[in-house]
A and B are shown apart, each in its own frame.
Chain A
Amino acid sequence: MRTKPPLDAGLLRRYDRPGPRYTSYPTAPHFSPDFDERALRGAVIESNGDPIPRLLSLYVHVPYCFSPCFYCGCNRIITRDKAQASTYLARLYREIAMTAAMFDRDREVVQIHFGGGTPHFLSPVQLREVVDTLRHHFHFANRCDRELLIELDPRSMSPSDVAEYATIGFNRASLGVQDFDPVVQAAVNRLQTVEETLAIIEACRRYHFRSVNVDLIYGLPMQTPEGFAKTLDTVIAARPDRLAIYSYAHLPEFFKPQQKIDATQLPTPDCKIALLQVAIDKLSAAGYLYVGMDHFALPDDDLALAQANGTLHRNFMGYTTHADSDLIGVGVSAISHIGATFSQNPRDLPTWQTAIDEGRLPVIRGMQMSDDDQLRADLIQHLMCQAEVSVLAIERRYGINFATYFRDALVRLQPLLDDGLVRMDADCIRATAQGRLLLRNIAMCFDRYFDNPGVPVKFSRAI
């Protein structure tokens, strides 16, 4: 786990094909409008009935941004009109109240994540109000490991805001950086100085945030390995606890803002691999551990520790140490994962608002996982988090014969075995160091939906 993933450009090129990122299995395109409010309420009742009901994780979506970054595939609304926030919050509070009322009171909240958009489009006073509302409706025990995370955009805040966030209870931050190269920043419409960014990281430290994450993106227009190397040097010098190095997925037909990107300025596949190589080399040399997918962490960070002791988990917010909590998403477009179900709110504001105004939970689509879905989700979860799957554990847990049950999957896995991405013996399927860079390709072999031509799905590429 702790070695630096070597990079075979030829192999990466060959496996660079579209596929899901497996923040969930089955993936969101398979959600169906048949999953309605009734189904969601049923799922919550079912989850309350577990012998030891799961802990709760909350995700709050704030859809507003002050200006559009062209690479963005998130659900957001560009505005400078701060008044919009208060009408949004009025609905959000009703949604929180309606949602919380379904959950038994002894179910404890262990993780809250504010994402967007830009969460601090809301003022510190408003953010405090949202957290207070959550505290009022949900059960917050005094546990020292509760995570309150906020995504931060250093361009639209000041270090003194961080002090306020700390008093609200936020103890983790995730900063968008992407790339410090001014040419790249101009091409993606995100001008952000090193100074303002470092000032925010510094403030997070001063106010005792337990963990600071920085997001970078490779594959952006005008990006060069040299420029990206400088960005990495700057970021590494600030020593964030975690780094996410995302691959840019250019899908302008799905994400409208991306139509503003000049496709001729995008790096070639070889250049993209070189960018990833730079990141891996620099981060490994600086002592960061590769957690999996796009994530790196310092050895003493919770994520790295969780991976070492097998408690790492993956959900819509990425990797997390809170295994197996039920996830409740509130706000427009938010996704919930309760028991063996997924459910999603409308992606557009009017539909979300109407549902809430009519006193309905604003679920627009979702799915009830089948037994097969749950088995495969468990397997893929292990693969994405531990880079290995215990055949015996799966057989025991689900009462199957692995070789028979996964006959087709194992056929699909064979070329990956031949290419040295995976090793397999009677007990274990394990990604090699090389294979850990292509975890999603390994997972695809076990994805029952992936080869289903009936579902029109467009995924980003592997690299």
Chain B
Amino acid sequence: MSRPVFPLADARTVADDGDSLHFCSTCAFSQACLAHGMDKRELLDLHVLVEHVGPFHAGEHVFRKGDRFEAIAAVRAGAIKTYVVDRDGRERVVGFHLPGEVIGLDAIDGEHYPCNAVALDTVWLCRFSFTRMAALASRLPELQNHLFRLLSRDIGAATRLAGDWSADQRIAAFLLGLSQRLASRGFSPRRFQLTMARTDIGNYLRLAPETVSRVLKRFQDDNLIVVDRREVELVDFDRLEELAAPILRS
């Protein structure tokens, strides 16, 4: 059977399979903890895990800038947009966070969240105490490595886009990036829904929304992709990778 099309979910991608003793299949930390032979019961004993929360519905905020920082959260299902509002009142999209990914990492050096996080569709989260997780990580090198990886991925995504790339390159890299991230969580790498609005995509990629649509339309006319409402199917990976290569290698 083919893999589910994000955000549709099945047993492999919905994180409803966890319970008080077992990690959810999409857990951002289970691999790292299990590598140390640490199961969920032990984490519970250490009060690392806080709670499963949700659902948050599309448009609902998970936290807002300035809210007191209590926990970082792993996405169990759905997608989250983080953004800030600049001095002129303009929104700036910081990132999109998919199942298995973590939000709130940029808050760990302060007492307050530095950005807003809003659900793009129906979102379930797992919130846990960063302080306790970090304390645990100091004893578990694999977990520490994993935390660093998450942090550097967050920073990497932002710096990659700072380059002088064309709209075609940015959009190809964006689509391939989503594809890879979803694939690593058990979703189809070929077909997925863009649950964020095109204004968000444009904002994130520093492109006008009309440009996003125009490029996607041209990609479609050139048989690179097929777009059906919010759903995108990547048809010609080779040519997309060719376009995105300079960004993905940067």
Contacts and interface: CB of A to CB of B under 8 A. Distances in A.
Contacts of A52: 213, 216-217, 220, 227
Max chain B Cβ within 10 angstroms of own Cβ: one of A49, A51, A397, A399: A51
B198 interface: yes
B194 interface: yes
B210 A51 contact: no
A51 B5 contact: no
A27 interface: no
A53 B5 contact: no
Contacts of A53: 198, 213
A52 B200 CA distance: 13
A128 B187 CA distance: 53
A51 B216 contact: yes
B201 interface: yes
A160 B209 CA distance: 45
A365 B220 CA distance: 36
B165 to A, nearest CB: 19
A51 B213 contact: yes
Contacts of A48: 197-199
B212 A51 contact: yes
Interface string B226-241: 0111101000000000
**Size band of the interface chain A makes with B:** 10 to 19
Contacts of A37: none
B11 to A, nearest CB: 13
B2 to A, nearest CB: 8
A104 interface: yes
Given A52-B220, A399-B4, A106 B227 contact: no
A53 B202 CA distance: 14
B210 A50 contact: no
B198 A49 contact: yes
A109 to B, nearest CB: 16
A51 B227 CA distance: 8
B198 A50 contact: yes
A422 to B, nearest CB: 27
Contacts of B229: 50, 339
Interface string B187-201: 000000010111111
Contacts of A51: 194, 198, 201, 212-213, 216, 227, 230, 232
B157 interface: no
A49 B197 contact: yes
A444 B210 CA distance: 40
A106 B217 CA distance: 13
B250 to A, nearest CB: 24
B215 to A, nearest CB: 10
Contacts of A45: 197
A41 to B, nearest CB: 13
Nearest to A49: B197
Contacts of B209: 104, 106
B210 A106 contact: yes
Contacts of B217: 52
Contact of A399 (B8, B201, B210): B8
B5 A50 contact: no
B199 A49 contact: yes
A48 B201 CA distance: 13
Interface string A72-110: 000000000000000000000000000000001010000
Interface in B176-226: 194, 196-201, 209-210, 212-213, 216-217, 220
A399 B196 CA distance: 21
A51 B205 CA distance: 13
B63 to A, nearest CB: 23
A366 B36 CA distance: 56
A76 to B, nearest CB: 35
Interface string B19-58: 0000000000000000000000000000000000000000
A53 B228 CA distance: 10
A135 to B, nearest CB: 19
A51 B228 CA distance: 9
Interface in A49-75: 49-53
A210 B76 CA distance: 55
Contacts of B197: 45, 48-49
A263 B114 CA distance: 74
A50 B212 CA distance: 10
Contacts of B216: 51-52
A39 to B, nearest CB: 13
Nearest to A104: B209
Interface in A5-45: 45
Contacts of B228: 397
Nearest to B208: A106
Interface in A163-178: none
A254 B216 CA distance: 47
Nearest to A46: B197
A50 B194 CA distance: 8
B140 to A, nearest CB: 38
Contacts of B212: 51
A80 to B, nearest CB: 46
Max chain B Cβ within 10 angstroms of own Cβ: one of A45, A48, A52: A52
A51 B200 CA distance: 10
Interface in B72-92: none
Contacts of A399: 4-5, 8
Nearest to B230: A50
A48 B210 CA distance: 10
Nearest to B229: A50
Contacts of B4: 399
A411 B80 CA distance: 42
Contacts of B199: 48-49
Interface in A329-370: 339
A51 to B, nearest CB: 5
The 3 closest A-B pairs by CB, nearest first: A49-B197, A106-B210, A52-B213
Given A51-B230, A53-B198, 4 more contacts: A51-B213, A52-B213, A52-B216, A52-B220
30 contacts: A48-B198, A49-B196, A49-B197, A49-B198, A49-B199, A49-B200, A50-B198, A50-B230, A51-B194, A51-B198, A51-B201, A51-B212, A51-B213, A51-B216, A51-B227, A51-B230, A52-B213, A52-B217, A52-B220, A53-B213, A104-B209, A104-B210, A106-B209, A106-B210, A106-B213, A339-B229, A397-B228, A399-B4, A399-B5, A399-B8
Interface of B: 4-5, 8, 194, 196-201, 209-210, 212-213, 216-217, 220, 227-230, 232
